[in-house]
Amino acid sequence: MQNVLYLSLEARAQFKRLLPLLDKPLSKLEKRDQQLFKLRLERYFQNLYDGLEPLYGLRSDFEAVLERLLLLMAKHFCERPEDLKELDMERDLTPDWFQRETMIGYVFYVERFANTLEGISDHLDYIEELGAKYLHLMYCLKPRQGENDGGYAIEDYRDIDPRLGTIADLEEVCRSLRRRGISVCIDLVLNHCAKEHSWALKAKAGDKKYQDYFHTFPNRALPDEYERTLPEVFPDFAPGNFSYYPEMKRWVWTTFNEYQWDLNWSNPDVFLEIVDILFFLANKGVEIFRLDAVAFMWKRLGTDSQNQPEVHDILQALRACSRITAPATAHKAEAIVSPDDLIHYFGTGKRYGKVSNIAYHNSLMVQYWSAMASRDTRLMTHTLSKFPATPSSIAWATYIRCHDDIGWAVTEEDAAAVGLNGFAHRAFLSDYYSSKFPGSHAKGAVFQYNPFTGDKRISGSFASLAGLELALERGDRRLIDLSIERILLGFALIAGFGGIPLIYMGDEIGLLNDYDFDKYLDTSADNRWLHRPYMDWEKASLRHKPGTVEQRLFQGVVNIMRAREQTPHFHSHYETVIVDSTQPAVFAYLREHPLGKLLALYNFSEHPQLLDADFLRQFELKVFDQLQRQPLDISSGVLGLEPYQRLWLV
Ligand code: GLC
């Protein structure tokens, strides 16, 4: 081992101190495996050290924390199954595995898609028809009973919701999908756990050690101080950020619901617990961890306690742990924050490329809905062209719908830059998508109206928000056609932006809002269940029946995904450069690949658009459309785009 020379003096001293401690725990492994672990440790030790030192470096037990961490990692490495170790080696050699153009994601609630984990095997043909290589199983780990924020209030990270199966089932699902080249993604909620988690129960019972796992306060003095600058996530059904527990006579930090207790990451025991859980699950075969609500993980008085630099340190340290112990895994940050904040989740400056592998492209999603409502892509072009450059080793998760609401993340500055008033535009979007705006095609509902900020987030399924529900109600064929094209434009956008397109269950067959959601006690308060319907397998079976809405959508999605797989320009390694299409309704960007350029064009209006051939000529393209797999004729001097047409020109 020679890289040690590249470690900083402090890191090198720690590394040299720690290395001999590993001999014993690793001794049960073959020499080659021992060597591999040590090599990876050496390679990523600086990242690990640089993540941990700012968090815990001033503590007197810092060295002991490092020791405990390394022993924990060594233990899990020893327990790691052989086939996963082979996958680790494969991915050491192909670190771009999740960036490839063949990567396509499918996201579903296990219960709503397949009833149980075991049930997933009955639907593999469906998953493979879509070409999914990445399955996000929502939710898996055992949540509290009753209301649980859609599975985001975990009672036991080492167990599965008994209604869905067991840990052995998860292991089996991961194994059988892995054999088919499909990676399993699950949620790991990092910001909070359920108040029924054993840590919280012990804290409530007065155990000081476990009270330190949370942010607790004897009175309102500090909570009131914090509240001055804290926003509210659920102002409607869970106002305030703190909850009182008479049994321990303390206030607890609860950013989301009262039953979700924020974890105290300034306590290294919390970090070690999560590492232990992460590798427990990685060794069961989970390949992608969706790290939930990461923006909130570090608290700082006088701030909104979101996106604090320490969050990026924690994530960098966790990432380094995975690269050493289970390199086959990838980390996806769920940070639904502004572009300037978001970029840090990939790592900037000294953390460049070291923080997470994948992050949600929230802005692309918001801008899709904004441009669809206004038939104008200038805000989209402006906002996305200002996006900071990303490291070439990462991938966006691109999506149009997910299980959450849509918040109108449009800043005043961006709106003003294209002649809009931010407040008015956000209000317009809320009205448009809650069917209050005259002539709107959308059917949706307001989620969490905040009277102080005027924010009205939106719930609703892709199809209902895109006009299919209204069109079907009216039995209007033209409106049905238009809504199908709107939806397919969305799929083409996420498939062609350079990231992992995430297909949210049911959108591929146009499932509408589920108005029955409020019949069930556990879901009635939260209208996000409007767009979390049960899979309708009868409708799904129509995907092969020509002329049905389901078939037009499903086949449309499949065609887009097949075209994506055959277009190397969509490998996430390459940047997306937004260009001004010269037509307000047409969104355009370029992806430059060593094989040549790709120009993507999307008509966000129900009216045909004309682009001057000179605009296209500047890109020196042969004008072959990868989506339809046909050459285009621009000899007339213009290129016409049909309503909602999309083109991937190479
Ligand atoms: C994430 C989840 C969301 C949940 C929140 C709190 O944002 O996507 O559904 O409400 O975390 O756990």
Token output for 334? 């769920």
State the average pLDDT over residues 494-511.
Answer: 98
Give the right CATH number for 574-649 from 2.60.40.1180, 3.30.360.10, 3.40.50.10490, 3.30.70.20: 2.60.40.1180
407 C-beta closer than 6 A to ligand 1: no
Q: Which atom of ligand 1 is nearest to the CA of 256?
A: 6
Task: Examine the residue annotation and report whether 128 is marked as an active-site residue of this protein.
Answer: no
Please report, as a single letter, which amino acid is at residue 331.
H
Out of 231-240, 271-280, 284-293, 327-336, pick the least confident.
Answer: 231-240
Which residue's entry shows tokens 């990451």?
265
State the average pLDDT over residues 387-399.
Answer: 95
Please, which pLDDT band fits residue 1 given cuts at 50, 70 and 90?
low
**CA atoms of 113 and 29, how far apart (whole Å):** 40
Strands 630-631 and 105-109 turn out to be unpaired
Please, which pLDDT band fits residue 510 given cuts at 50, 70 and 90?
very high
Q: What is the DSSP letter of 389?
A: P
What pLDDT sits at residue 220?
97
Token output for 90? 């494969």
- Segment 227-241, tens digit of pLDDT: 999 998 888 888 899
What pLDDT sits at residue 634?
83
432 C-beta closer than 6 A to ligand 1: no
What pLDDT sits at residue 32?
96
Please report, as a single letter, which amino acid is at residue 467.
G
Which residue's entry shows tokens 């595995």?
97
Domain 4-93 part of CATH 3.40.50:
no
Say how many Å lie between the CA of residue 615 and the centre of ligand 1.
43
What pLDDT sits at residue 4?
66
Q: Which residues pair with 358 in a beta bridge?
A: 332, 395
**CA atoms of 334 and 70, how far apart (whole Å):** 27
Please report, as a single letter, which amino acid is at residue 129.
E
233 C-beta closer than 6 A to ligand 1: no
Say how many Å lie between the CA of residue 152 and the centre of ligand 1.
6
Catalytic residue among 334, 455, 508, 606: 334
Task: Examine the residue annotation and report whether 118 is marked as an active-site residue of this protein.
Answer: no
Q: Which atom of ligand 1 is nearest to the CA of 189?
A: 12
229 phi and psi angles, rounded to 5 deg: -120, 5
Strands 330-333 and 288-292 turn out to be parallel
Strands 500-504 and 105-109 turn out to be parallel
Q: Residue 475 above 90 pLDDT? A: yes
**CA atoms of 499 and 532, how far apart (whole Å):** 24
CA-nearest residue for atom 11, ligand 1, is 293
Say how many Å lie between the CA of residue 262 and the centre of ligand 1.
13
What does the radius of gyration of the chain's CA atoms come to, in whole angstroms? 25
- Segment 93-125, tens digit of pLDDT: 999 999 999 999 999 999 999 999 999 999 999
**CA atoms of 138 and 535, how far apart (whole Å):** 13
**CA atoms of 642 and 649, how far apart (whole Å):** 15
4-93 and 574-649 share one fold: no
What pLDDT sits at residue 131?
98
150 C-beta closer than 6 A to ligand 1: yes
Give the global pTM. 0.97
Burial class (CB in 10 A: 0-12, 13-18, 19+), 118: middle
Q: Residue 80 above 70 pLDDT? A: yes
334 C-beta closer than 6 A to ligand 1: yes
Percent of the chain at pLDDT exceeding 70: 99
Coil, helix or strand for 624? strand
Please, which pLDDT band fits residue 617 given cuts at 50, 70 and 90?
confident
Describe the chain by its helix, strand, coil percentages, rounded to 5: 45, 15, 40
Alpha carbon distances (Å) from 312 to 42, 188, 335, 517, 527: 21, 16, 11, 37, 32
| DSSP H stretches of helix in 409-505 | 412-417, 422-433, 462-465, 468-474, 477-495
**CA atoms of 516 and 528, how far apart (whole Å):** 12
State the average pLDDT over residues 584-608.
Answer: 97
Say how many Å lie between the CA of residue 385 and the centre of ligand 1.
28
Strands (E), 466-595: 500-504, 576-579, 586-593
Domain ranges in the chain are: 4-93, 198-262, 574-649
In the CATH hierarchy, which fold is given to the domain comprising 198-262? Answer: Oligo-1,6-glucosidase; domain 2 (3.90.400)
Q: Residue 459 above 60 pLDDT? A: yes
Query: Do residues 14 and 57 touch, judged by C-beta distance below 8 A?
Result: no
Strands (E), 323-368: 330-333, 358-360
Q: Residue 355 above 90 pLDDT? A: yes
Q: Which residues pair with 259 in a beta bridge?
A: none
State the average pLDDT over residues 502-523.
Answer: 91
What pLDDT sits at residue 3?
60
Q: Could you give the angle at the alpha carbon of 517 between the alpha carbons of 515 and 521, nearest 5°?
A: 145
Q: Which atom of ligand 1 is nearest to the CA of 260?
A: 12
Token output for 99? 């960036």
Please, which pLDDT band fits residue 205 given cuts at 50, 70 and 90?
very high
State the average pLDDT over residues 521-532.
Answer: 86
Q: Residue 2 above 60 pLDDT? A: no
What pLDDT sits at residue 631?
92
**CA atoms of 626 and 186, how far apart (whole Å):** 33
Q: Which residues pair with 586 in a beta bridge?
A: 603
Please report, as a single letter, which amino acid is at residue 182.
I
- Segment 317-330, tens digit of pLDDT: 999 999 999 999 99
**CA atoms of 268 and 425, how far apart (whole Å):** 44
Please, which pLDDT band fits residue 136 given cuts at 50, 70 and 90?
very high
Query: Do residues 235 and 192 touch, judged by C-beta distance below 8 A?
Result: no
Burial class (CB in 10 A: 0-12, 13-18, 19+), 272: middle
Query: Do residues 214 and 253 touch, judged by C-beta distance below 8 A?
Result: yes
405 C-beta closer than 6 A to ligand 1: no
Say how many Å lie between the CA of residue 236 and the centre of ligand 1.
15
The closest of 414, 229, 231, 249 to 336, measured between CA atoms, is 231
Say how many Å lie between the CA of residue 293 and the centre of ligand 1.
6
Please report, as a single letter, which amino acid is at residue 547.
G
| DSSP per-residue letters across 130-151 | HT-SEEEEE--EEEPSS--GGG
Alpha carbon distances (Å) from 304 to 220, 300, 350: 18, 8, 24
**CA atoms of 453 and 430, how far apart (whole Å):** 13
Coil, helix or strand for 3? helix
Which residue's entry shows tokens 């649980």?
148
